[in-house]
Amino acid sequence: MRSLSLRSVPVLLFGFLSTILIANAGGPAKQLKDLQWSHAFDLACRKYMEPDITKDTKRWGVEAFRDNNTGLGLYISEVGSIAIAPNFASLEAPLKKSKGPAWLTGLDMPARKAGVKEFKKDTGVHAMEVFRDPNADNWLFITEKGNIASTTGKLFPGASNKTPKWIHSVDLAVRKGGVKEWAGAGKVGIEVYRDGNSGNLVYVTEAGQVAILPEHTEVKGEGKSPDWLHGLDLSCRRHDEKSFTKDTRKFGVEVYHDVTTGNLIFVSENGSIAVAPAPTGVKAPTPKAKEPTWTHGLNVKCRKFGEKEFSDQTRSFGAEVFRDDNLDMIIYINELGNIAVLSSK
């Protein structure tokens, strides 16, 4: 049905992918464990109204790593979109005989801009493809813009020919990094769908950012407004920026409790989103909210589609890892402001 390829990398090239010796702002340097490359895919995604996968369908390079500091899997696409997922801790990376991606279906999901009440003819529709990574048994979604999302695939084997069902929508305000007041904060429109093919809830923004999460309990009833919990300022260095300085980019991230689904939604000032199950007993706003704890930084490379080997020309993305002790969450953010979240438990 489509041409999908699996890419490998010689062991000699892992020097390009190692984590670096870094120092927390004002703190001692620490030697990190390696960021271990595992496997890679070239994933095709059709545009909206493109009926079939052909040789001309746009393809995106996606790399898969294991962060040995957390044991989590880190997926990154060539546009710098990131996703973290479980099921990587036991992999013998790099995989010597990795399996190719298993395509399941394609989805088209309309998403309104913040403040727009009705779906209209000019509402943007975001196309995406649903894959399964058989090496780690994770779902892996990719959009026509190269944005990715991932979650465990162990809870649902997959189905086919199911049309996604709209659940509800939310408009979330987000401040820029370092800004305390809400005046002038941007807003992001987000639609929530149920994908019966993968067993996931799919969150898609007006700009085509996407996040997914298994639907643990069926969502019923009218949508309710999300509760704001707290805001975070997350600093992230560029790939060529060795130390935190006063000029290091600081991204604003807001955390909401989507009471309709029982999930948390993290939204970055650049419109990137991430979702995770909300812990029991969440209170809004978060009482005595704690500042995020920085744990380590990473440099992550991703090859473009058709780029067979890592080289000095391969694009590298700086990333930082934080812990949100208010909710026991691990947060990854890269130099573009793209975020991914997973419970530390």
Band the pLDDT of 34: cuts 50, 70, 90.
confident
How many whole angstroms from its chain centre is CA 135? 19
Band the pLDDT of 31: cuts 50, 70, 90.
confident
CB contact set of 9 (below 8 Å; sequence gap of 6+) = 37, 40, 94, 309, 310
* Residue 7, pLDDT above cutoff 70: no
CB contact set of 186 (below 8 Å; sequence gap of 6+) = 173, 174, 176, 269, 271
Check the CA dihedral 88-94-96-99 and report its sign: positive
pLDDT of amino acid 122: 95
For residue 59 the two structure tokens come to: 């393809």
For residue 322 the two structure tokens come to: 């934080």
- Domain with 253, as residue range(s), is 5-343
Max alpha carbon distance in the chain (Å)? 56
pLDDT of amino acid 2: 27
Band the pLDDT of 216: cuts 50, 70, 90.
confident
Using alpha carbons, list the distances in angstroms from residue 246 to 14, 85, 193: 32, 32, 41
pLDDT of amino acid 30: 60
Band the pLDDT of 277: cuts 50, 70, 90.
very high
- CB-neighbour burial class of residue 339 (10 A; exposed 0-12, middle 13-18, buried 19+): buried
- Closest listed residue to residue 106, CA positions, set 131, 126, 128: 128
User: What's the total number of domains in the chain?
Assistant: 1
For residue 227 the two structure tokens come to: 């509760």
Q: Enter the pTM of the model.
A: 0.92
Say which residue, 8 or 248, is predicted with more confidence: 248
Place of tokens 């650049």: 270
Q: Mean of the pLDDT values across residues 229-250? A: 97
For residue 152 the two structure tokens come to: 């465990």
CA distance 7 to 5: 6
Strand segments (E) across 97-143: 102-111, 124-133, 138-143
- Closest listed residue to residue 216, CA positions, set 238, 240, 194: 194
pLDDT of amino acid 17: 34
**CB-CB neighbours of 144 under 10 Å:** 21
* Residue 163, pLDDT above cutoff 90: yes
CA distance 154 to 338: 26
Q: Mean of the pLDDT values across residues 219-237? A: 90
Q: Mean of the pLDDT values across residues 273-297? A: 97
Q: What would the DSSP string read from start to end of 85-101?
A: ESS-TT--SSPTTPPPP
* Residue 81, pLDDT above cutoff 70: yes
Band the pLDDT of 23: cuts 50, 70, 90.
very low
